[in-house]
Amino acid sequence: MSDGVMIVGEVVDGGLHPTVRQLVNAAGQIGESSEVTLCLAVDGAFDGGCLEGIGVGKVVLLEHPDAGSDGIGGVYSLLTELVCEVVGRLEPTVVLVGKTDAGSVVSARLAARMGAGLASDCIDLALNSHGRVAVTRPVHGGSALAVYEFAGEGLQVVSVRPGAFEVAQSVAGTPDVERIDMSSVSASGAVPVLVETVVEESEGVPLEQADVVVSGGRGLGGPEPFDQLRELCGLLGAALGASRAACDAGWVDHNHQVGLTGKSISPTTYITVGISGASQHMAGCSSARNIVAIDKDREANIFSHARYGVVGDWAKVLPAFTAAVAELE
């Protein structure tokens, strides 16, 4: 793409947010790496060593002393100003943002200010015959997928679902880095004010960042078997997942749901127990490199996607599997 792709990355604890390398992979679907620019809002605590092997043509650091504290209030007003400023300077054709708390806010504000189209919560990207972006995203409550294309000309803003793309592999070398002093930029106008913060408790490794995920489904029959899955997660250092049916039944919190209406994951290993493999669930784990399935129905759709499958009663298979893993510790 002639004017290039700009990634709005996030910085956490002085390093890159896990979604950044996923966005690099997504950008590769619509442009050459040499045409991709990664923009990061940073303060003095940023560790530039994390940029080695990032796989983009250029990195632009938007330096502001308050960049690290902007998200504490949850309103991201400063980040919005910084992103709008740099988009006005660089004039990219496409802006990619992760659909995180910050990304959801900034992408919508950016599109509104620039009069641009916004495609949100996308799980795949491509270019159409006119060189415009075509996105795939869930519709109808996650029961189907639809492809949308940006019409006309002008800026295209895309937010990408975390976990929809695998993490981009490191490449040799470090990209060109440009530092821009943004200390004079400040939030203006009607700035939102934080009224209340509600903290959602979570257990274990976040699904979108886990290298191993263990999920349970309707076939488990109730909430108690999830304690056995948690035991296996502890041994493997894995995240706990679940199907929509298990979450809707109240066996486990919806925060653990994998699928079109839940979270997209891209682990190295995905272990499913009592999950039939409905298309809505598989859309959320299609980027998993290896699927290990345990189900008593040999005709279950999950086996057509699994690298390894065990046909049998989970109540007999899972304890033996867990014991075998424990012996390797």
DSSP string of 142-173, one letter each residue: GTEEEEEE--SSS-EEEEE-TTSSPPPPP-SS
**268 and 126 within one domain:** no
For the chain, the 3-state helix, strand and coil shares in percent, each to the nearest 5, are: 30, 25, 40
pTM score of the predicted model: 0.75
Count of domains observed in the chain: 2
Question: What pLDDT does residue 139 have?
Answer: 82
Task: Categorize the per-residue pLDDT at 1 as very low, low, confident or very high, splitting at 50, 70 and 90.
Answer: very low
Indicate whether 110 and 145 sit together in one domain: yes
CB 149 within 8 Å of CB 134:
yes
Same domain membership, residue 293 and residue 230: yes
Q: Is 31 a residue whose pLDDT tops 90?
A: no
Q: What is the pLDDT of residues 48-68, one digit of tens each?
A: 888 988 989 999 999 999 887
- 269 and 212: one domain? yes
Q: Which residues contact 138 (CB under 8 A, 6 or more apart)?
A: 121, 123, 144, 145, 146, 260, 261, 283
Asked if residue 215 and residue 174 are part of one domain, the reply reads: no
**Residue 39, token pair as written in the block:** 């923009």
pLDDT tens digits, one per residue of 112-154: 999 999 999 999 999 998 899 999 998 876 678 899 999 888 9
Range of the domain at 310: 207-328
Inside any domain, residue 193: no
Q: Report the C-alpha gap between 13 and 101 in whole angstroms.
A: 16
Would you call 9 helix, strand, or coil by DSSP?
strand
167 and 20, same domain (yes or no): yes
Do 133 and 18 belong together in one domain? yes
158-162, 164-168, 296-300, 307-311: which has the minimum mean pLDDT? 164-168
Considering the domain boundaries, does residue 84 fall inside one?
yes
Mean pLDDT of 226-233: 95
Cβ proximity of 136 and 124 under 8 Å:
yes
